[in-house]
């Protein structure tokens, strides 16, 4: 199960907080599928990628309630937390920087907080995609803004790289993905 975090709706479509959705869309494009099947509180699509069955997920609960959709789908599909990868934006990484991670804290990310709370565990794999940190203290407004044209071009390239990394995660595990795709700051 590959879950991209974001906020549903046209209002949020191009915001920094939606890079997780963008990654899911890029995987779907490569697999020639659409993530448009409504299951519970998410849009999903099942496909095969290099012979492995994958479930692509875009929660439709808004970021702060992402855990509700994830828990519901884990139960519905009888998947295990070990089979979960959550793709999300990260303020503490420069725009476009990738970082795979095994478990850990939430770093103040409300989507991750919701997932940890609903699953009662933080032992799931993540792929963080840097969105940079604002120079002003209003983080909420910052994550809901669009990237500059230059940043967006860099993000688009890194989303391609993120998809390559997820393919490695799927076939070889989190350690290989971390070793091959994590960038030093």
Distance CA 147, CA 153 (A): 9
Distance CA 24, CA 144 (A): 19
Marked catalytic residue, from 17, 88, 109, 136: 17
- Residue 17: active-site member: yes
98 near 25, Cβ under 8 Å? no
- DSSP codes joined into one string, 49-117: ETTEEEEEEEE-S-GGGHHHHHHHHHHHHT--GGG-EEEEEETTS-TT-EEEEES---TT-HHHHHHHH
Active-site amino acid positions:
17
């Amino acid at each position: 199960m590959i879950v991209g975090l974001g906020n549903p709706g046209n209002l949020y479509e191009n915001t920094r907080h939606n890079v997780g959705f963008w990654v899911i869309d890029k995987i779907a494009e490569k697999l020639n599928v659409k993530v448009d099947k409504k299951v519970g509180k998410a849009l999903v699509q099942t496909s095969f990628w290099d012979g492995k069955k994958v479930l692509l997920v875009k929660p439709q609960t808004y970021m702060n309630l992402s855990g509700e959709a994830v828990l519901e789908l884990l139960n519905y599909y009888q998947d295990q937390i070990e089979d979960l990868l959550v793709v999300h934006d990260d303020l503490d990484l420069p725009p476009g920087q990738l970082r795979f991670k095994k478990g850990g804290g939430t770093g103040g990310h409300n989507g991750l907080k919701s997932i940890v709370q609903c699953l009662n565990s933080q032992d799931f794999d993540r792929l963080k995609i840097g969105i940079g940190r604002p120079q002003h203290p209003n983080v909420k407004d910052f994550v809901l803004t669009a990237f500059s044209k230059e940043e967006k071009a860099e993000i688009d390239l890194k989303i391609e790289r993120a998809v390559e990394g997820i393919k490695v995660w799927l076939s070889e595990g989190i350690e290989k993905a971390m070793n091959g795709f994590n960038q030093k700051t």
